[in-house]
Amino acid sequence: MKVKFLFGAMVSGLLGASVWISGALAQTDPLPSWNDGANKQAIVEFVEAVTSEGGADFVAPGERIATFDNDGTLWVEHPMYTQLAFAFDRVKALAPDHPEWKTTQPYQAVLENDMEALGKAGEKGLMEILAVTHASMSTAEFEKTVTDWIATARHPKFDKPYTELVYQPMLELLAYLRANDFKTFIVSGGGIEFMRPWTESVYGIPTEQVVGSSIVTEYKVVDGVPTLMRTPKIAFVDDKAGKPVGILTHIGKRPLAAFGNSDGDYQMLQYTTAGSGKRLGMFVHHDDADREYAYDRDTHFGSLNKGLDDAPKEGWHIISMKDDWKQIFPE
């Protein structure tokens, strides 16, 4: 289940990013869904420091970069990554054309919702599912498939569209940073082409500011039409040590601030905060079982182990969902 790249997902927007942002910025408090405390104060003090012209920590607007993981940082990642749920639903939708899947693993496990058998299939099994559900089609076909699915799929616990299960405090943080001339990027282990169809409407983050994992894409002329075709081969995994590489490749600048929630984001925070001047690194800690989920070290999705241990010595902040956030999701 390590391949967070295979599955990484999208988020909310029924409120409409532009409508929400204008409302948030109209308020005196730029982070109204955050409880007063050390973490909220750290964010505000960081932003004020790097935007105060003439100050020791001032950074020119063109250098103000903030990166955000997606799954578990901007929206729900349990009971499984949203892109994994998408892949499973695609297997079920395609199953009528493949009767042999009823007795063939790993497809049988998906059709029977047998997570134990799926776990035994391992990475090889997940790669098979990826090949069937994400490849051998054009990029335009894949974008339409993702767009159609995300418009109707519902989360199994909350019985709401996945697009409603984004974190209100993080939406406020994105808006606050952009209001202070930060450029905000998603840097996720999820598939880059799975996220791009919806990130702008949900987060206000355009497609060119999305960094993610990718599969090999080939240019072909199909029936006289120039077409980009998706293949089953992995091109790049934007997770763990891959994140700083993805940042360099796609952004070309070291971020001033980085936000994640798992050990898959460790190297992104490490790379970001190793730079000179004022820096900010933060992990979202899922410790609110009543309003969302509670997990950290012992989980297949979004494990936070080394990050919890090393945060104090690295100067990183641990955001408690339970204590730091007044609300979790948009109302």
Of 101, 220, 201, whose CA–CA distance to 151 is shortest?
A: 201
Would you place residue 319 in the very low, low, confident or very high pLDDT band (cuts 50, 70, 90)? very high
Q: What local confidence, expressed as pLDDT, does residue 17 receive? A: 39
Would you place residue 27 in the very low, low, confident or very high pLDDT band (cuts 50, 70, 90)? low
What mean pLDDT do residues 88-93 have?
Answer: 96
Rg, C-alpha atoms of the chain? 20
Q: What local confidence, expressed as pLDDT, does residue 321 receive? A: 98
Weakest-pLDDT range from 106-120, 185-199, 205-219: 106-120
Say which residue the tokens 């075709």 belong to.
Answer: 229
How far is Cα 175 from Cα 184, in angstroms, rounded to an integer? 9
| Mean pLDDT, the chain, whole residue set | 91
What mean pLDDT do residues 243-268 have?
Answer: 98
Alpha-carbon torsion (223, 227, 230, 231), positive or negative: positive
Q: What local confidence, expressed as pLDDT, does residue 15 receive? A: 33
> Residue 14 pLDDT > 60, yes or no?
no
What mean pLDDT do residues 149-162 have?
Answer: 97
Q: What local confidence, expressed as pLDDT, does residue 256 receive? A: 98
* 186 CA to centre of own chain: 7
Q: Which is more confident, 23 or 130?
A: 130
- Tokens representing 219 are 């240019």
Weakest-pLDDT range from 107-116, 151-160, 189-198, 288-297: 107-116
DSSP string across 88-113:
HHHHHHHGGG-GGGGGSTTHHHHHTT
Q: What percent of the chain has pLDDT over 70?
A: 92
Of 190, 243, 265, whose CA–CA distance to 8 is shortest?
A: 190
DSSP assignment letter at 62: G
pLDDT digits (tens, 9 = 90+) for 36-56: 999 999 999 999 999 999 999
> Residue 113 pLDDT > 60, yes or no?
yes
> Residue 4 pLDDT > 60, yes or no?
no
Of 96, 207, 223, whose CA–CA distance to 146 is shortest?
A: 207
Q: Which residues pair with 260 in a beta bridge?
A: 283
What mean pLDDT do residues 237-244 have?
Answer: 96
> Residue 26 pLDDT > 70, yes or no?
no
Contacts of 196 (CB under 8 A, 6+ apart): 143, 207, 210
Weakest-pLDDT range from 17-31, 56-70, 139-153, 287-301: 17-31
pTM over 0.95: no
Alpha-carbon torsion (175, 180, 182, 188), positive or negative: negative
